[in-house]
Amino acid sequence: MHENTLPSFVQGLREDLRPIFSPRMLLSAWLPCLMITVLHYRTGEHHAWGHDILRRLYYLPILFAAFAGGVRGGVTLSVFASLVYLPHAFTRLLVQDPADALEKGLEILLYNIVAVVAGLLVDRERREREKQERLATRLGDALDEQRRMEAQLIRAGKLGALGEMTAGIAHEIKNPLHALKGTAEILRDAVPESVPERRMLELHIAEIDRLGQAADRFLSFARPISADRRPVDPRSLVDRVVALVSTQARREGVETVVATEGTADIPRVMGDPDLLVQLLLNVALNGVQAMTPEGGGTLTFSLGAEVQGGKEHVRMRVANTGPPIPGEDLERIFDPFYTTKDEGTGLGLSICARIADQHEGALTVRNLPEDRGVEFSLSLPAVGAGDG
């Protein structure tokens, strides 16, 4: 809608002129210049030294204008000073000797040269400063990005080490457990059903099974997740998760909302759709569970695109109303086995974080302002032009 119409031209001109007529310029350049001119014209012919002083006083407002407005400000004022001084010098040219007139002419030339040189210096200085400021913000962005990656690496490293240890322990438990179960079954079969000890052996076997299941769970956490990555439309992922979660959500009195605003231009991501659905579903179910004690609430899915470290990323958000996560727990909820639920395993979010890491993405959490709930945010690199 920004055509080159007359109003937009006038608008542009006004923007250009604003610095030249800023209050600072008016006070330190225009007003002194006018005052000097008035004085100059009112000084009698015989006060030659007065004219000499006043003529040179013009340099002050010209320099001020260059300091405040660069070449543009300085030259505007030097041209103005030249024009108002010219008639004065010109009348003298007619009545007095040409050598004097030449001197006046040179003075006028000098006004403009001083304005250009001072203005150029000021402009160069300003450009240099702006360049430094731009560099500083870019450096700040890069540092933020590095901190984010460090945190992610620490998390990935912690998870990797923990995974290996868990797998080791689970293996050590599973082998003797196998033997225990076998012998317990033989013993159970040897004891007739009517004998009270038979019940104890059945309990014994049930507990061995429970321990075996726990070991299996730990092993499944420790197993490397293999991803089959291909370009995926993030909207299809959200749709699948919503279909899976909405039935349970409704049962708990939770409303599921998908924010569709601005989703037309969401690029695809490189990912394993099943793993990404698993991740989002885990997060969504946690959200529903977080709202359940009070009952009811809203689970909101939203999508966005943004540039991070020069690369395009897709951001998928899952937010739930309900109580915020206490500050000290925000750091720990991604840790394996960290849970606040009686029936929880504490593995959900740590697996989610591993899936995100594997996709070169990041899963983060924050409490929404004004106690509006909790928001998990998954950022994934978008499929670049060359990725198919």
Give backbone dihedrals phi and psi of 223, rounded to 5 degrees, phi first.
-60, 135
Residue 163 is a binding residue for ligand ADP (CB under 6 A): no
The full length of the chain comes to 388
Rank residues 67 and 221 by Cβ distance to ligand ADP and give the closer one: 221
Considering only 28, 78, 152, 286, the residue that binds ligand ADP (CB under 6 A) is 286
Residue 339 is a binding residue for ligand ADP (CB under 6 A): yes
Least separation in angstroms between residue 275's CB and ligand ADP is 16
| Part in contact with Mg ion (CB under 5 A); list of ranges 133-141, 279-287, 300-308, 375-383 | 279-287
Find residue 377's DSSP bridge partners.
317, 364
Site size toward Mg ion (CB under 5 A) is 2
Residues 293-322 interacting with ligand ADP (rule: CB under 6 A): 320
- Tokens representing 187 are 């013993």
Give backbone dihedrals phi and psi of 310, rounded to 5 degrees, phi first.
80, -5
- Contacts (Cβ under 8 Å, ≥6 apart) of 37: 81, 84, 85
| Part in contact with Mg ion (CB under 5 A); list of ranges 69-77, 280-288, 291-299, 361-369 | 280-288
- Residue 322: name the closest of 255, 239, 378, 245 by CA: 255
Find residue 230's DSSP bridge partners.
271
Considering only 22, 43, 345, 358, the residue that binds ligand ADP (CB under 6 A) is 345
Residues 41-80 interacting with ligand ADP (rule: CB under 6 A): none
- Residue 231: name the closest of 314, 112, 340 by CA: 314
Which string of x and - marks every residue 358-377 that binds ligand ADP (by CB under 6 A)? ----------------x---
Q: Please, are residues 331 and 366 in contact by the beta-carbon 8 Å criterion?
A: no
Least separation in angstroms between residue 289's CB and Mg ion is 7
- Contacts (Cβ under 8 Å, ≥6 apart) of 194: none
Site size toward ligand ADP (CB under 6 A) is 19
Least separation in angstroms between residue 347's CB and Mg ion is 8
Find residue 306's DSSP bridge partners.
313
Interacting residues toward ligand ADP by CB under 6 A: 282, 286-287, 290, 320, 325, 333, 338-341, 344-350, 374
